């Protein structure tokens, strides 16, 4: 059975409330205004939202090198939705808020919207993120390590930030030089 598809309900009819086909979407690149715009809260929990969640997960799965997470603004959709998939867990959060941070960790971080670059970034070592799922049911995720980093990274996207904004000193200067020289950066018109 392929990813993104589920067996039909009893009786052979497919009674899913969301679309069958999912789409691997194009990732928006650094410089695209959608990445700098705080995302709007989700208010409609409908088939369109469930399709977006499926697209986020399918787009994460499409790269054989692996991806830790993907936020809706990275697909050009200005809604507070992200999906994640790491060895520690897989899921999605809608209208997420980081409700608790503890400790500190510094590790290499990268971003699909800033391809080919990675820099040491400091994040909380342990986080609790609350939100809802695609049906509006409450979700609370408390994680440490890499998944904690990924959750914080994705919430930043929903707040109009990219991980480069968290860099300081030489790492920030080096990153900004690399971005200016990158052929993929979206330049203002």
The three-class DSSP label of residue 171 is helix
In the structure, how many helices (H) and strands (E) does the chain have?
3, 7
The terminus-to-terminus CA distance of the chain in angstroms comes to: 45
Q: What is the DSSP string of 21-68?
A: ---PPPPPPTT-GGGGSPPBPP---SHHHHHHHHHHHHHHHT-TT--S
How far is Cα 112 from Cα 173, in angstroms, rounded to an integer?
20
- Please say if 154 is a catalytic residue: yes
Q: Which residues pair with 86 in a beta bridge?
A: 89
Which residues are tagged catalytic? 154
């Amino acid at each position: 059975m392929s990813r993104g598809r589920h067996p039909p309900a009893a009786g052979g009819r497919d009674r899913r409330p969301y679309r069958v086909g999912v789409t691997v979407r194009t990732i928006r690149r650094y410089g695209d205004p959608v990445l700098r715009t705080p995302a709007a809260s989700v208010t409609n929990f409908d088939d369109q939202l469930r399709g977006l969640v499926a697209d986020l997960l399918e787009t994460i799965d499409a790269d054989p090198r692996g991806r830790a997470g993907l936020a809706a603004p990275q697909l050009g959709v200005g809604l507070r939705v992200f999906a994640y998939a790491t060895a520690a867990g897989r899921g999605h959060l809608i209208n997420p808020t980081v409700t608790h941070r503890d400790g500190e960790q510094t590790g290499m971080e990268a971003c699909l919207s800033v391809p080919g670059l990675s820099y040491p970034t400091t994040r909380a070592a342990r986080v609790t993120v609350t939100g809802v799922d695609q049906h509006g049911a409450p979700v609370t995720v408390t994680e440490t390590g890499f998944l904690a980093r990924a959750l914080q990274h994705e919430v930043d996207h929903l707040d109009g930030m990219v991980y480069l904004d968290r860099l300081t000193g030489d790492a920030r200067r080096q990153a900004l030089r690399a971005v200016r020289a990158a052929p993929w950066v979206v330049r203002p018109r």
